[in-house]
């Protein structure tokens, strides 16, 4: 349900969305998969390093003078085996909480950092005599351990740029700690300290900056995607329509996976912030409509930027406008079937004091529903006006706030009369029925001003003059609905439906 406060945002629009890195199911699944990948890569890296060391000429040369030089390879093997075992804890069939995964992330990379520090100092102690021969190569070799750690964390683990920066800074500090220990134990000659520090700082700082920048760019894109496509509990999809009052997007409820249609109307399109507030009050009323031929309104609200939105059921079908323009005029029986359903939707709305005021072929979608073909759904009940039982306007929606579509507007609506009641909707429904059977509106081919004048003063040609085989009963029903005087039309939608049933 929407908030009672009109200004309370239900959806977070662009500029107000949080980062994508929050405690949610999507993050949990991604983090678990990435940590498992890092664990496998770490295992392969360590086992590969062990094999490389055991079969290298350099290792055999060291082995002859130092019986413990093979210890580094054994250490690599042990770490690799541990990683292989831990990877089994991260199988997709065993989902872990985000909190558990974050702790494992810290332990995994913390162990990796401590292992690299230990290996760096072990190498320092075993190649002390060779360091002066190739200091740059050995420094780069040690830096490669930390570069792997930096790249693995920054690229594979989903994090905010701030969290990534802190972790990378700790990795660089760990590399310097390893050298500091080597200096304190005398394993790193003081004469080589400036060269080693400069090489490591340069390599690791550049690597960290590149990785951090990638994380920052990813976070920026994630924020924009979240703002643009994640609207509270709904995910926004592709646009499916647009009009003078706003845009409609396909969406989906994130937890229920239920498809929805989300319509946005901003204050500029509506005319004023006051108009948006009226629309919200009207949406509260229309959300109570339950007729099967009325589109369901699931949610509504206003965002921080003043945008009003309605969340409606997503309908799989085509508008009457698209059907007639593609297939041509409807057969009378099918047209009667559609018009009868719309009469039912209007009857409930009128009973609740709601007048649609924009009934037209583009606002009716017809398609299969629950295995039943040709189910008509009347749209845009979020933008209506209200009327009292005596026929006067309630003043909730000011005259002119929603002008409707001239081709289907009643004479009283065209003239801007204060009292636009249910009879106006019946006139529009008659014009819609005219379009269905004739393939054109009653006054097609005229400009807006001519059409408004015709709606007020001219009687359209009977649809039977365009469709020779049109049943006389249907011809009479449509012409009665199109009467200029509201009193000469049907008393209500139920009377019109009863006459349609007799065709």
Residue 73 pLDDT exceeds 80:
no
Residue 248 pLDDT exceeds 50:
yes
Q: Which of 26-35, 197-206, 488-497: highest mean pLDDT?
A: 488-497
Please, where are the H alpha helices in 309-420? 320-327, 332-351, 411-414
Closest CA to 308 of 282, 330, 347: 282
Which comes out higher in pLDDT, residue 111 or 446?
Answer: 446
Identify whether 358 is a catalytic site residue: yes
CB atoms closer than 10 angstroms to residue 353: 17
- Residues in CB range of 417: below 8 A, 6 or more apart: none
Are 326 and 223 members of one domain?
no
Give the whole-angstrom CA distance, residue 406 versus residue 401: 14
Give the whole-angstrom CA distance, residue 503 versus residue 484: 23
Name residue, tokens 């690229």: 155
Give the whole-angstrom CA distance, residue 233 versus residue 236: 10
What are the backbone dihedrals phi and psi of residue 188, each rounded to the nearest 5 degrees, phi first? -110, 115
Closest CA to 154 of 142, 139, 170: 170
Mean pLDDT, the chain, integer? 78
In the chain, count H helices and then E strands. 16, 11
Of the residues 20, 123, 299, 358, only one is catalytic, namely: 358
Secondary structure of residue 360 in the 3-state scheme: coil
Range 113-141 burial, b when 16+ CB lie within 10 A, else e: bebbbebbbbbbebbeeebeeebeebbee
- CATH (domain of 352): 1.10.510.10
Confidence of residue 127 (pLDDT cuts 50, 70, 90): low
Which comes out higher in pLDDT, residue 256 or 404?
Answer: 256
Supply the pLDDT for residue 398: 41
> Of all helices (H) and strands (E), which one includes residue 492?
none
Lowest mean pLDDT among 166-170, 370-374, 388-392, 428-432: 388-392
Paired tokens of 354: 């709601």
pLDDT mean over 305-318 = 83
Structural domain ending residue among the three candidates 163, 196, 230: 230
What are the backbone dihedrals phi and psi of residue 312, each rounded to the nearest 5 degrees, phi first? -120, 170
Supply the pLDDT for residue 98: 80
Domain-embedded: residue 304:
no
Confidence of residue 467 (pLDDT cuts 50, 70, 90): very high
Domain-embedded: residue 250:
no
% of the chain with per-residue pLDDT over 70 = 74
Residue 72 pLDDT exceeds 70:
no
Name residue, tokens 């490591």: 200
- Torsion angle, alpha carbons of 122, 126, 129, 135, to 10: -40
Are 204 and 341 members of one domain?
no
Domain-embedded: residue 241:
no
Domain-embedded: residue 480:
yes
Confidence of residue 235 (pLDDT cuts 50, 70, 90): confident
Give the whole-angstrom CA distance, residue 124 versus residue 445: 90
Confidence of residue 195 (pLDDT cuts 50, 70, 90): confident
What order do you get walking across the sheet with 297-302 strand by strand? 230-231, 234-242, 247-253, 259-265, 308-313, 297-302
Domain-embedded: residue 236:
no
Residue 115 pLDDT exceeds 50:
yes
Task: Yes or no: say if 249 and 307 are a contact pair by the CB < 8 Å rule.
Answer: no
Are 321 and 219 members of one domain?
no
Structural domain ending residue among the three candidates 215, 230, 245: 230
Supply the pLDDT for residue 26: 67
Supply the pLDDT for residue 309: 81
Which comes out higher in pLDDT, residue 278 or 495?
Answer: 495
Residue 456 pLDDT exceeds 90:
yes
Are 335 and 442 members of one domain?
yes
Q: Domain span at residue 107?
A: 25-230
Are 336 and 217 members of one domain?
no
Are 353 and 476 members of one domain?
yes
Give the whole-angstrom CA distance, residue 179 versus residue 117: 8
Residue 374 pLDDT exceeds 50:
yes
- Residues in CB range of 328: below 8 A, 6 or more apart: 439
Task: Yes or no: say if 297 and 380 are a contact pair by the CB < 8 Å rule.
Answer: no
Task: Yes or no: say if 172 and 146 are a contact pair by the CB < 8 Å rule.
Answer: yes
How many domains are there within the chain?
Answer: 2
Task: Yes or no: say if 165 and 219 are a contact pair by the CB < 8 Å rule.
Answer: no
| 332-351 and 493-501 helices, crossing angle to 10° | 160
Are 142 and 36 members of one domain?
yes
Are 332 and 187 members of one domain?
no
pLDDT mean over 183-188 = 75
Are 322 and 467 members of one domain?
yes
Domain-embedded: residue 203:
yes
Confidence of residue 19 (pLDDT cuts 50, 70, 90): very low
Residue 53 pLDDT exceeds 70:
no
Are 226 and 119 members of one domain?
yes
Domain-embedded: residue 190:
yes
Bridge partners (DSSP) listed for residue 385: 355
Supply the pLDDT for residue 16: 37
pLDDT mean over 103-125 = 77
Are 57 and 156 members of one domain?
yes
Residue 350 pLDDT exceeds 80:
yes
Structural domain ending residue among the three candidates 230, 248, 271: 230
Residue 14 pLDDT exceeds 60:
no
Bridge partners (DSSP) listed for residue 259: 252
Paired tokens of 268: 């500029």
Supply the pLDDT for residue 175: 82
Q: Is 77 exposed, middle or buried (0-12, 13-18, 19+ CB in 10 A)?
A: middle
Domain-embedded: residue 382:
yes
């Amino acid at each position: 349900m929407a908030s009672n406060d009109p200004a309370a945002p239900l959806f977070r629009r662009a500029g107000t969305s949080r980062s994508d890195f929050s405690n949610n199911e999507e993050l949990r699944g991604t983090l678990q998969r990435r940590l498992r990948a890092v664990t496998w890569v770490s295992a392969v890296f360590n086992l590969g390093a062990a094999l490389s060391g055991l079969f290298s000429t350099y290792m055999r040369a060291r082995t002859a003078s130092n019986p413990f030089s093979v210890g580094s390879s054994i250490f690599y093997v042990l770490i690799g085996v541990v990683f292989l075992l831990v990877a089994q804890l991260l199988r997709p069939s065993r989902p872990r909480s985000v909190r558990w995964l974050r702790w494992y992330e810290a332990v995994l990379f913390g162990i990796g950092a401590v292992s690299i520090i230990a290996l760096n100092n072990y190498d320092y102690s075993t190649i002390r005599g060779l360091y002066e021969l190739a200091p740059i190569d050995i420094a780069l070799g040690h830096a490669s351990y930390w570069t792997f750690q930096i790249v693995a964390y920054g690229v594979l683990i989903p994090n905010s740029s701030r969290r990534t920066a802190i972790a990378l800074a700790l990795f660089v500090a760990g590399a310097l700690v390893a050298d500091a220990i080597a200096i304190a134990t005398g394993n790193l000659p003081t004469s080589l300290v400036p060269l080693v520090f400069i090489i490591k700082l340069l390599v690791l700082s550049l690597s960290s900056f590149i990785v951090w920048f990638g994380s920052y760019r990813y976070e920026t894109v994630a924020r924009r995607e979240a703002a643009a496509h994640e609207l509270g509990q709904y995910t926004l999809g592709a646009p499916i329509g647009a009009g003078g009052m706003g845009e409609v997007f396909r969406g989906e409820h994130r937890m229920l996976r239920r498809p929805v249609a989300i319509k946005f109307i901003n204050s500029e399109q509506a005319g004023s912030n006051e108009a948006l507030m009226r629309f919200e009050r009207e949406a509260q009323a229309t959300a109570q409509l339950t007729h099967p031929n009325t589109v369901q309104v699931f949610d509504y609200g206003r965002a921080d930027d003043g945008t009003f939105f309605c969340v409606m059921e997503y309908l799989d079908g085509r508008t009457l406008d698209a059907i007639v323009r593609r297939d041509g005029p409807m057969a009378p029986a099918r047209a009667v079937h559609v018009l009868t359903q719309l009469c039912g939707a209007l009857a409930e709305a009128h009973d609740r004091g709601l007048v649609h005021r924009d009934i037209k072929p583009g606002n009716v979608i017809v398609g299969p529903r629950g295995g039943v073909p040709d189910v008509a759904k009347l749209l845009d009940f979020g933008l209506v006006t209200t009327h009292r039982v005596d026929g006067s306007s309630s003043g909730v929606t000011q005259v002119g706030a929603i002008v409707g579509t001239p081709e289907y507007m009643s004479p009283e609506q065209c003239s801007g009369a204060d009292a636009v009641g249910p009879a106006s909707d019946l006139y529009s429904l008659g014009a819609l029925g005219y379009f269905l059977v004739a393939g054109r509106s009653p006054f097609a081919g005229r400009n807006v001003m001519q059409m408004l004048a015709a709606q007020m003063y001219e009687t359209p040609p009977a649809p039977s003059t365009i469709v020779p085989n049109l049943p006389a009963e249907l011809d009479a029903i449509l012409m009665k609905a199109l009467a200029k005087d509201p009193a000469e039309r049907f008393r209500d939608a139920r009377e019109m439906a009863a006459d349609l049933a007799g065709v």
